[in-house]
Amino acid sequence: MYSELISNFKFIIITIILLLLSCSKEPPIFKKTKFLMDTVVTVTAVGPKEEVEKAIDATFSEIERLESLMSGFRKGNDVDRINRSAGINPVKVDKDVLIVITKAIEISEMTGGAFDITIGPLSSLWGFGVKENYIPARADIKKTLSLVDYRKLHVNVQKSEVLLKEKGMKIDLGGIAKGYAADKGVEVLKGEGIKAGIVAVAGDIRVFGKRPDGKPWHIGIKHPREKDKVLTTIDLEDSSISTSGDYERFFVKGGIRYHHIFDPKNGLPAPNCQSVTIISKEGILVDALATGVFVLGPEKGMEFIESNKLIKGIIVDSRGEVKVSSALRSMTPRGKIGL
Ligand code: ADP
Ligand code: MG
């Protein structure tokens, strides 16, 4: 009887030790940050240190490569060559540039032109990040608008060629390239054998797999008006999330807030949202749609989100009111969205 008790006790102790050991066997998680694509890029990966470090470095190299292809400030890169050849001749481009431009045109069509990468001449005229608090004259905006039209951007997939039909036209990939970089970053991590991680190019984030504790990744969405607060936290596995806001690049003059997301219809900063968050599978899609839905505004924007089964979203309108798409409402276990 006594010896039976001892052996049971031993069994319990061994089980507890085994349990503790299995808990401490959670795979480690590593994170690295670099300034790329004009913003902060953070790559997180789960796995053994050496393997993960190698994978993260390869991810940064890939994002650097994409930056040099797609930046609007690199002389001689594909974007620069397309813009300089506007109205003259088609330009042969890299496969990734072709993918991004093709997808951008598709998203322009989906959003009725609210998203339009031929916004380039308008971005240059306003000059966010280059000029200081500059408001262009109405006449200059009007003149520039005649150069903004995605229907005059032609892609020949077979030949890998891109042509802007009119002289003076310019593409600007600022509203889509970061999401694509998140996609490609994840592709590299997976190719290196990593089973779970996050690639965050500022607010363009793609996650895959699960956290080491087996739970989904918790992704915070910035509050558009209170710098250190989050609007909410979303649990995500194998998906992408992107937030576009009027708080990243802006200035206030005469009580009006001017920011870097333009309505291609009138050439002015889109006035009706503070921020738009889109969730779906692909980074390239959510990045461009967050920008496009921002331009559409809260009503048309939410209608657009609800009409597409593959996307979910949150819109904070210009008064700070928060609208959540129905599919997302049932998915956020962290209570009320907003503050
Ligand atoms: P962020 O760059 O802050 O992540 P977005 O993804 O919304 O925000 O991209 C904004 C950028 O997209 C602008 O800086 C500009 O380069 C470009 N852009 C602005 N308006 C439009 C638009 N209507 N369609 C496509 N791109 C746009
Ligand atoms: Mg965007």
What would the pLDDT profile of 151-174 be if each residue is shown by its tens digit?
999 999 999 999 999 999 999 999
Q: Is 264 in the pocket of ligand 1 (CB under 6 A)?
A: yes
50 located within any domain: no
Q: Whose CA is nearest to atom 22 of ligand 1?
A: 115
Give pLDDT tens digits for 232-253.
999 999 999 999 999 989 999 9
User: Considering the domain boundaries, does residue 145 fall inside one?
Assistant: yes
In a domain, 114, yes or no: yes
Global pTM? 0.92
Does any domain span residue 77?
yes
Considering every ligand atom shown, identify the ligand nearest to the alpha carbon of residue 71 and give its number: 1
Distance of alpha carbon 337 from the chain centroid: 20
Q: Is residue 27 part of a domain?
A: no
For residue 174, the ligand 1 atom closest to its alpha carbon is: 16
- State the pLDDT confidence band at 3, using cuts at 50, 70 and 90: low
Residue 94 in any domain: the answer is: yes
Residues spanned by the domain of 85: 70-175
| Torsion angles phi and psi, residue 246, rounded to 5 | -90, 15
Q: 281: which DSSP letter?
A: S
Which carries the bigger pLDDT value, residue 174 or residue 23? 174
Averaged over 187-201, what is the pLDDT? Answer: 98
Number of domains, the chain: 1
Considering the domain boundaries, does residue 167 fall inside one? yes
Secondary structure, 3-state, 22-82 = HHHCCCCEEEEEEEECCEEEEEEEECCHHHHHHHHHHHHHHHHHHHHHHCCCCCCCHHHHH
Q: Which atom of ligand 1 is nearest to the CA of 108?
A: 24
pLDDT at 26: 79
* Angle, CA of 185, 193 and 218, to the nearest 5°: 60
- The CATH number covering residue 138 comes to 1.10.3980.10
Query: Other CB atoms closer than 10 Å to residue 205's CB: what's the count?
Result: 28
Residue 275 CB less than 6 A away from ligand 1 = no
pLDDT per position as a tens digit, 301-315: 999 999 999 999 999
pLDDT-above-90 percentage for the chain? 87
What does pLDDT average to over the chain? 92
Residue 89 tokens, joined? 């001749």
pLDDT tens-digit map of 86-119: 999 999 999 999 999 999 999 999 999 999 999 9
Classify residue 32: in a domain, yes or no: no
